[in-house]
Amino acid sequence: MAMNQKLLRPKASGFNPKQISGLALWMDASDTTTLTFNGGDVSAWSDKSGTSSLSASQASAAFQPLYNATGAGGKGCIEFTASDSLAFGSSTASFNYLHNATGATMFCVVKPATTSDPNAIIYFLNNANNSSGNTGVGINFDDRASVTRNNVFLAQINRGVGGLLTSTVVSENSFISAMNAYSVLTLSLDNANATAANRSLIYSNGTLTTSVNTVTNAAATGNASFNMSIGNFGGNGAVAGVAEFIFYQGILSASQRNSVHGYLAKKYGITVA
């Protein structure tokens, strides 16, 4: 009797981000099928979540970031200079869940800089131009010596009303263990939470910061002011590296969050709590 072929197939194992509902964006620089190259540069980077057709691109060769096939724990990553950027050429409504009452859980595998003191803001993600009068989000690394939040990750959620943010939160300086190294930056953006301290949370390599949001203004209801950009925005930027983005609509449970942390840690050789 012939052996049942189903018994010979290896069982699927391991975690996949698609196993958690709400997956809205999955940008994976180690998957070259999602990238469009212009020589050694990246001219476009496409979502692989299967839930959208979003793609971030840069038509100008002078501003296209460099691809490094082994730069993030032996995996592929995209390295941005101060002027490089990739922008999602889509409707400004595409990322509304990041700033409206839906909320989001964002996982970013990023490297703040290749120098220990860039003395600049490094823009990772931005569709509000860091102005409270605009609508959207800004996820940055701030290393300006001129401000008190030197050497921290900053998340600011803007609701389109000058001076009245939905929330803002910064990480602690101690969270930056190595400037020239990749880490897993996680943000929980529960924009309509009635408790201010639970609205915006930052985790670095799985550890929660104690720097909490204190703002309780209503979440935005309109579209973002600009299309989402990775890297330089509005002429401001600095050296940074990006390996992966995984965004979910809604707030993940601790168990779900830990599953994604474990997946990214194993993939890139990063130690997480």
Rounded CA-CA distance 109/77 in Å is 9
- Cα 238 to Cα 255: distance, rounded to the nearest angstrom: 34
Per-residue pLDDT of the chain (273 residues; tens, 9 = 90+): 454 544 444 343 489 999 999 999 999 999 999 999 999 999 999 999 999 889 999 999 999 999 999 999 999 999 999 899 999 987 789 999 999 999 999 999 998 876 667 788 888 899 998 788 999 999 988 888 888 777 888 899 999 998 888 988 888 776 665 667 899 999 999 999 999 999 999 998 999 987 889 999 999 999 999 999 999 887 667 778 999 999 999 999 999 999 999 999 999 999 998
Does residue 267 contact residue 184 with C-beta atoms inside 8 Å?
Answer: no
Q: Report the distance separating Cα 129 and Cα 212, nearest Å.
A: 22
Confirm whether 191 is domain-assigned.
Answer: yes
CB 28 within 8 A of CB 35: no
Q: How much is the pTM?
A: 0.91
- The CATH number of whichever domain residue 245 belongs to comes to 2.60.120.200
The pLDDT of residue 233 is 81
Domain ranges, residue 137: 81-268
In a domain, 189, yes or no: yes
Is 180 contained in some domain? yes
Query: How far, in Å, CA of 204 to CA of 33, rounded?
Result: 29
Residue at 120 is within a domain: yes
Measure the CA–CA gap between 236 and 234, rounded to whole angstroms.
Answer: 6
Q: Judge whether 129 lies within some domain.
A: yes
The set of residues, in sequence order, having a beta carbon less than 8 Å from that of 167 and lying 6+ positions away, is: 155, 156, 157, 189, 191, 196, 199, 200, 213, 215
Whole-number pLDDT of residue 177: 57
Does the residue 29 lie in any domain? no
Any domain includes 28: no
Q: Which is it for the CA torsion 24, 262, 258, 68, positive or negative?
A: negative
Q: How many domains does the chain have?
A: 1
Residue-level pLDDT at 11: 40
Q: Which stretch of DSSP H or E encloses residue 263?
A: helix 254-268
Residue 13 lies in a domain: no
